[in-house]
A and B are shown apart, each in its own frame.
Chain A
Amino acid sequence: GESVGLHLPTLSVQEGDNSIINCAYSNSASDYFIWYKQESGKGPQFIIDIRSNMDKRQGQRVTVLLNKTVKHLSLQIAATQPGDSAVYFCVPMDTGRRALTFGSGTRLQVQP
């Protein structure tokens, strides 16, 4: 069946610390993974993606790690800022499926 990213519901970090948001997925056939950030009252914003032939990808202040063996991803945010407060979703995609299936996400709260 469809793969959905499973998250812990909340994560609270201090401003300036690094954040690590973890995500598990169920379908070993998932071959493409997208991280989205959704701020209150807005649509999801693309952060970074990774394909199954990679195990790490870096962006600006963010790094995504993929462990296909245990079907796990993580999003690392360096030097977390108040503007990083949002709900984060990892969205696994299965080959041939274009629609996205969202799990419940992780709400990141940045404490000043």
Chain B
Amino acid sequence: GAVVSQHPSWVICKSGTSVKIECRSLDFQATTMFWYRQFPKQSLMLMATSNEGSKATYEQGVEKDKFLINHASLTLSTLTVTSAHPEDSSFYICSAPVGAGNNQPQHFGDGTRLSIL
């Protein structure tokens, strides 16, 4: 079945560091990928839609200059958390729909646990 891979699975770094998270579709192409954030005991919140070859679309309240998204190929989207601070500590998860049309299931990566000291 369709597999979405995220890397790294967890990262700990100092405040002020920039962190890059990769999301890959392993056996299918994805012109669109989605990035979510999940705080402990809470649900997933959509941060942005990553579009291959064009700018990402950000949800209201998500700073585009803080969370840089690049979708340079049909199988890779990256999320860079710039100048990360402790409040950015969270579980970041990406997903990709299988198939080009609407109403398709999405498959999720296993998430990246980000801890900022």
User: Which positions in A face B, CB cutoff 8 Å?
Assistant: 31-32, 34, 36, 41-46, 49, 51, 89, 93, 95-105
Query: Is B13 an interface residue when CB atoms closer than 8 A count as contact?
Result: no
Contact of A100 among B6, B46, B91, B113 (CB under 8 A): B46
Query: Is B102 an interface residue when CB atoms closer than 8 A count as contact?
Result: yes
> In the complex, what distance in Å separates the CA atom of A59 from the CA atom of B79?
34
User: Which positions in B face A, CB cutoff 8 Å?
Assistant: 4, 6, 32, 34, 36, 42-46, 49, 91, 93, 95, 97, 102-111, 113
> In the complex, what distance in Å separates the CA atom of A96 from the CA atom of B102?
6
The prevalent SS among residues of B at the interface is strand
Residue of A nearest to B98 (CB): A46
Find chain A residues with CB under 8 A from B45 CB. Answer: 102
Interface centre among B36, B46, B103, B104 (most CB of A within 10 A): B103
